[in-house]
Structure 1
């Protein structure tokens, strides 16, 4: 991982196609090393979960709708998806100098799923509060994060006790790592432990998204 970080630090200073072309052999070597690392985590995670696949994100940016026209990302990222429709939630690892994290959750739930989750929290928050008050959850993640609407979604009471959860458009968790932690021998183990710590949250949300408000299975 040390080579990857050194490359990314140089890329931050030279984010242009000419520099990247000159250093492409170095980049390709790092990609191979990253793939081995990401696949090791996939294998370990698969022992405890049912994954549908692994997606290693390209370093090339889509700049069509971005004000920042630099062509490359300053990070390496990988996502692990669970087997739908019964298992929901996605795992993610983000490697970037001074901004690395291991996270997961529900980044862009469709309108139907989002409404179902909001209705669940409107009805009862006992389970989600039990999960988010667990010592390991608090130690690793602190709280559920994600973008939210400003007041209350249409059809919901803005004075509802669970309005902070109901307002969310995303439900994600994240554990940040220092560069020293990422470059340590224990990072792979800590990354896997962090991903596994999301399981109670994922399992609960999966149950919600595969049943109706009466608890009847949808599939």
Structure 2
């Protein structure tokens, strides 16, 4: 995943500069070391610095945040392009099994998420048990309804749901759909807009992460962290 800690810039976050998005747009067109080296100053000043300031402003409320190394792990990939064409911030150090909040910026805009994007196998077992349990399952559905009313619908995350109810559960289970999930997350996506260049972007991140907190807290209580080893390729 290539996660690393953030810095602690002195000044407050005042938006993602337009140069951040134009840098990522250029990287999409020319994902090469020559482009990177020619634009290294832009990366440092228009990408790293504002991301660091954002993290510093959010950490008092959300705890330690991590960002992602720009280099891709291409050892087992057919795509050998050397750099990620996005930048991100997360509260978790797990790609699979992480519970928390996430921000991703790319040339076209921004994505915010909160919950569990991809549960690890041991977590999936506990998630299904909680969904099956009358009290915990009913609470999950109530949280889902409340968040949907606030335009924060809960979805199954990155991994495709099962095509049928897993073995051991009734086919007509009242929460049959949720039993097929391998994650539970709120995702909000935004097309690139001028407000992202101002401090409003911080308010939006904080609002979505706090708004979806009931889902994250339910997962933390009823599923918990994965007991499987954490894999951190390329972490510093």
- 1:107 matched to 2:121: no
When normalised by structure 2's length, the TM-score is 0.76
- 1:182 matched to 2:193: no
| 2-structure distance, mates of 1:137, 1:35 | 32
| 1-structure distance, mates of 2:28, 2:92 | 29
List runs of 5+ in structure 1 lacking aligned partners: 83-87, 211-219
| 2-structure distance, mates of 1:4, 1:183 | 10
| 2-structure distance, mates of 1:154, 1:182 | 46
When normalised by structure 1's length, the TM-score is 0.81
| 1-structure distance, mates of 2:144, 2:162 | 21
1:191-210 matches, within 5 Å, as: 191-209=205-223
- CA deviations on 1:66-111 (whole Å, 9 max, x unpaired) are 23221111111010139xxxxx821100111224211022234333
| 2-structure distance, mates of 1:140, 1:64 | 40
| 1-structure distance, mates of 2:168, 2:76 | 32
1:76-155 matches, within 5 Å, as: 76-81=87-92, 89-124=99-134, 125-134=137-146, 136-146=147-157, 147=159, 148-155=161-168
| 1-structure distance, mates of 2:27, 2:108 | 14
SS of the aligned residue for 2:150 comes to helix
After TM superposition, which residue ranges in structure 1, 4 or more long, deviate above 4 angstroms?
none
SS of the aligned residue for 1:81 comes to coil
| 2-structure distance, mates of 1:140, 1:93 | 18
- CA deviations on 1:5-55 (whole Å, 9 max, x unpaired) are 111111111111111112112212231222112221223x33xxxx3x211
| 2-structure distance, mates of 1:56, 1:140 | 27
CA drift of 1:206 comes to: 2.1
- 1:23 matched to 2:57: no
| 1-structure distance, mates of 2:82, 2:27 | 10
Aligned length: 198
| 1-structure distance, mates of 2:211, 2:188 | 10
Contact residue 185 and residue 215 of structure 2 kept, 8 A: no
Q: Which has the higher contact order (CA 8 A, sep 6+)?
A: 2
Alpha-carbon RMSD across the aligned residues, in angstroms, is: 2.1
| 2-structure distance, mates of 1:65, 1:205 | 32
